Amino acid sequence: MIKYLVKDFFRSKAHPIGLILLLVAGLISLEIGSRFLERSERISEKTAEHQVQSIQRNISHSSGDLGNLMYYLRFGLKNEVPRLAGLSIGQRDIYPSVQSVTVRNLEEQRYSTDLMNPLFQLLGNMDFSFVLIYFFPLVIIAFGFNLISEEREGGTWSLVLSQTDAPTRFLRYKLGIRLVSVLSVLILLLGISVMYLAIPIDRYLLAFALIAVVYVLFWFALVWLVVSFQLSSNRNAQILLACWVLLNLIVPAGINVLQRLLFPIPEAMTAVIENREGYHAQWDREKEPTLEHFYSKYPQYREFSHPSDQDFSWLWYFAMQQLGDDEARESVEDVKSKLGQRMEMANLLSWIVPTVHAQVSLNSVSFSDLGNYLRYMESLEGFHEGKKNFFFPKIFEGKPVSEIDWPRFTLERFQDSQPVLWAKILGPFILALLLLLVWANRNFTKSEIYSNGK
């Protein structure tokens, strides 16, 4: 029986064409992922090269005043892009992968980003996760929507009943052949991606592969449920396509709208404005309150003082910059809090929407989600603080530029690492699979599957 069903499956031209289209789309997505990784690495190399050249150039034109030099020097921190991100780019193309900051106020520099073609950002990337989430279900629907109805509408169902006393098993074999063919393409693409994108074989790749497999299983289970109602081919196709539109387009868009309504984020620009007003206003104010605020935050610098007979000193200038950051702190924390709440909301709702859960999980294990960006922002704050703690004492002491070991200041890297929460990742899929399969089995048990459907 299986041999016959395999021949019957490949006898239809639509089935091989569907598999070939999946393979071609997957290969195109791998090329897009490869170009994204190359671009990220090229930006990193150019930034590292520019940082070294910029430091050398500014030092060569420096008057010897370290404070004046540090006004211009920028130091970069790269958010390391894992090779797996080539399969699921996520939000990596929206948020910057490298940021360079001076020791001046951070908040005015935090939201600097790469210049990107807005049309390209609107269209997005057809990465592998896009092909998996959107294309694979369409092929699965095309393969399985008429699993039973084609037999009845073609007048061959009575022949099937005469050849077997277990028609449900016959249907399982038919669906299983389609499942194996689609999974074969998926596994082939994942294998090619490991070699083509040089993805390390680790727990993150394993998690990515498992998510992809159970996502495919979910759609086959959904097809199995719909055909268990034993409707016509047209009705099955309409229901399955409606499910595709609902799960892949309407629900994710609704979640996005709900996030924006519940957690609006106007504070990003507010933080920049408050930061600028915070330090620009200090030019016309008494210097003592600004310095006292600085000392309260950095008591280790109380040994340095602003000359009473001067209008300007680097101590007061950087204290003024710090005050700008502190005045914008509340808005900055609101931004981070609301971004975190958006992420938590998406994670929570994804438990009842497998398509959303697949995208969230793929981005998470690829470190291309919002969580990675928030952790990078925290690392950038520590990076900026470290540079201030290194240079401030030397600036305030009036150390010459020549005493600094400048070659040590190369591009630094933030390497994200998070545990793989297997139950959290696979749990929603397992629950959905159990629900769909139990429901379908109940339908088959109660239906008149042994009849000719007349």
The string of pLDDT tens digits covering residues 194-251 is 999 999 999 999 999 999 999 999 999 999 999 999 888 999 999 999 999 999 999 9
Give me the pLDDT at residue 294, please: 93
pLDDT score of 190 more than 90:
yes
Band of pLDDT at residue 120, cut at 50, 70 and 90: very low
pLDDT above 90 for 422: yes
* pLDDT surpasses 70 at 323: yes
* pTM over cut 0.75: yes
Distance CA 114, CA 97 (A): 9
pLDDT tens per residue across span 305-320: 998 888 889 999 999 8
pLDDT band at 114 (very low <50, low <70, confident <90, very high): very low
- Using pLDDT thresholds of 50, 70 and 90, give the confidence band for residue 122: very low
Q: What percent of the chain has pLDDT over 70?
A: 87
Stretch 256-283: mean pLDDT, rounded?
Answer: 71
Residue 304 pLDDT greater than 70, yes or no = yes
pLDDT at 152 over 90: no
| pLDDT tens-digit map of 358-416 | 999 999 999 999 999 999 999 999 999 999 999 999 999 999 999 999 999 999 999 99
Mean pLDDT of 84-93: 92
Say which residue, 449 or 36, is predicted with more confidence.
Answer: 36
- 275 has pLDDT over 90: no
Q: What is the pLDDT of residue 119?
A: 41
How confident is the model over 45-71, as pLDDT tens digits? 999 999 999 999 999 988 889 999 999
